Amino acid sequence: MSRLTFDVAHMLAGSLVLVSFLQLYQDRLYALLNIYAVHALVLALSVAWQAYAQDAPHLYVTAAIALVFKAIIIPIALHRIIVRLGIHREIEKVVGVGPAMLIGMGLVALAMVVMLRVTAEADPLAREDLAFALSVVLLGLLMMVTRRNAVSQVVGFMSLENGLVLAATGAKGMPLVVEISVAFSILIAFIVIGIFLFRIRERFDTVDLQVLDSYRGERR
């Protein structure tokens, strides 16, 4: 593989870390969803490039799933849901942006130390890519831990999963990546549905669709 291939893969992995930091920086919900869409887009590009570089066509499928589901469908759906349910547009933070950035830096350093020590005999660029992937996972967890808004926690979880997908594609030879991606996406869908059900239950004290029907505005 040529130098340029390595460099582009490396650059895309680094961009994913950068977009994770950008997610930590946001304080408005719509902006966060847009940044998450960018996150998924960068992941799709990265996986597609790996598919080209490793000559593994099944990774194109993973890239397509990431692009369609995570970059387009889920952000649009969440956008509509936020409008519909009137969820708070501003993200309340437990830890402010500055300290969160500092902790994020520390987590990236930790990920690098761990990964570079564990994979001592591997190819140098693969090691750095794995370190970046672990950083994305840790930053996703940080987001879940330091934000109070439920939607931002969902976004954090999904970006964590993106990091796992990046790790899986970077380290060659994980044929179940496609299946795992689909499974995770379905899990996310269930979580999101769960949020709705909670809201509905909170609002109407029931999730019985028959009873809910009577609250509909127009009469048949």
Partner 1 sequence: MALITDLFVQGGQMLIVLLLAPLLTGFVRATKARMMRRRGPPLVQPYRDLVRLMRKEVVLADSASWLFRVIPYLIFAATWVAASLVPTFRTGLLFSWSADLIAIAALLGSARFFLALAGLDVGTSFGGIGSSREVMIASLAEPAMIMIVFTLALLAGSTQLSTIAELMVAPGVGLRVSLGLALIALIMVALAENARIPVDNPATHLELTMVHEAMVLEYSGRHLALIELSTFLKLLLYVSLIACIFAPWGVAEQGATSAALAVGIVAYVGKLAGGGLLLAVFETSIAKMRVFRVPEFLGAALMLGLLATLLLFVSRSL
Partner 2 sequence: MTVVILVCAACWLVLAGTAVAIGRSPAGSTIIYGGSLLLAVVSLVVGTIHLLGHAAPAAVTLPLGLPWIGAHFRLDALSAFFIVVVDLGAVTASLFAIGYGRHEQAPLRVLPFYPAFLAGMNVVVLADDAFSFLVAWEFMSLSSWALVLAHHQVPDNIRAGYVYIVMASFGTLALLLAFGLLAGPDGGYAFADIRASHPSAAVAALALCLALLGAGSKAGLVPLHVWLPLAHPAAPSHVSALMSGVMTKVAVYGFVRIVFDLLGEPAWWWSMVVLTLAGLTCVLGVLYALMQHDLKRLLAYHTVENIGIIFIGLGLGLAFKAYGMAWAAALALTAALLHVFNHSLFKSLLFFGAGAVLTATGERDMEHLGGLIHRMPQTAFTFLIGCAAISALPPLNGFVSEWLTFQAILVSPQLPSWGLKFLVPAVGALLALSATLAAACFVKAFGVTFLGRARTPAAMAAQETDRFSLAAMFLLAALCLAAGILPGLFIDALAGVVQTLAGERMPVQSGVEWLSIVPIAQSRSSYNGLLVFLFMVISGVLAAFAIHRLASDRLRRAPAWDCGYPDASPATQYTASSFAQPIRRVFGSAVFRAREQVTMPPPGDTGPARLHVVLHDPVWEGLYLPLAAGISFTAERLNGLQFLTIRQFLSLVFAALVILLLVLALWP
Q: Which lies closer to partner 1 via its Cβ, residue 104 or residue 156?
A: 104
> Measured from the CB of residue 101, what is the shortest distance to partner 1 in angstroms?
5
* Residue that is written with structure tokens 């990546």 in the block: 177
Q: Which lies closer to partner 1 via its Cβ, residue 5 or residue 64?
A: 5
Q: Which lies closer to partner 2 via its Cβ, residue 5 or residue 27?
A: 27
Q: Residues near 178 by Cβ (< 8 Å), separated by ≥ 6? A: 58, 61, 62, 65
Q: Residues near 184 by Cβ (< 8 Å), separated by ≥ 6? A: 161, 164
Q: What DSSP string describes 166-202?
A: HHHHHSS--TTHHHHHHHHHHHHHHHHHHHHHHHHHH
Q: What DSSP string describes 76-139?
A: HHHHHHHHHHT--SB--BSS-HHHHHHHHHHHHHHHHHHHHHHTTTS-HHHHHHHHHHHHHHHH
Instruction: Answer with the entry of partner 1, partner 2, none that 53 interacts with (C-beta below 5 to 8 A by kind).
Output: none
Q: Which lies closer to partner 2 via its Cβ, residue 47 or residue 142?
A: 142
> Measured from the CB of residue 96, what is the shortest distance to partner 1 in angstroms?
8
Q: Does 109 bind partner 2 (CB under 8 A)?
A: yes
Single residue of 1, 99, 203, 206 touching partner 2 by CB under 8 A: 99
Q: Does 98 bind partner 2 (CB under 8 A)?
A: yes
Instruction: Answer with the entry of partner 2, partner 1, none that 207 interacts with (C-beta below 5 to 8 A by kind).
Output: none
Which residues lie near partner 2 (CB under 8 A)? 98-99, 109, 113
